[in-house]
Amino acid sequence: MRDTWNDIAMPILRAVQGMEAEESGAGKNWWGGSIKQVAERMGKSVNEIGPQVDSLECSEHISVRENPSTSGHPHNHMGIQLLPKGRKALGEWPADPMTALAIALARALEAASNEAVDDEERSHLKALAEKVRTAGAALGPTLAGVALSAIVDGVVG
């Protein structure tokens, strides 16, 4: 069975995030990438991502709107922008206090891994940071707390 969240939805959100970062980094006022641009960035067709774009809009992860200053096929001028729920899914904004804690802990572990002198310790800290980030982002507040406790117990205990 195909995992549409990880295989299609998250790559759509990441593509929009990447386009936004590139444009805003260049000092441009970013209006939003087109569905066609997102599909091209993902190496997919508009038809492949279209249904998931609709789902992400309905679930309020993204906003899709028409840019009247462009012309041609609708897929060329529909601007896609991330909404707060989409930013939370990408880890840009914490969804809840436990997720914020997981993000902060993961960043601290990554910083510690950059300062580690031993390759084995560096690798261990990076792997732990990824586990913490994944647990915090994917499990939600209650389960993230349980998962983080288990991870910490496994490392400390």
Q: pLDDT tens digits for 69-93?
A: 555 555 555 678 888 889 888 878 7
Q: Name the domain count of the chain.
A: 2
Q: What are phi and psi of 77, to 5 degrees?
A: -130, 20
Listed in sequence order, the residues at least 6 apart from 30 whose beta carbon sits closer than 8 Å to its beta carbon are: 19, 20, 23, 24
79 and 11 in a common domain: yes
CATH number of the domain encompassing residue 12: 1.10.10.10
Tell me if 92 is assigned to some domain.
Answer: no
pTM, entire model: 0.57
109 is in which domain, residue-wise? Answer: 97-156
The per-residue pLDDT for 140 is: 58
Of 42, 68, 87, which residue is a domain's last? 87
Distance CA 41, CA 54 (A): 18
Tell me if 143 is assigned to some domain.
Answer: yes
Of 36, 52, 87, which residue is a domain's last? 87
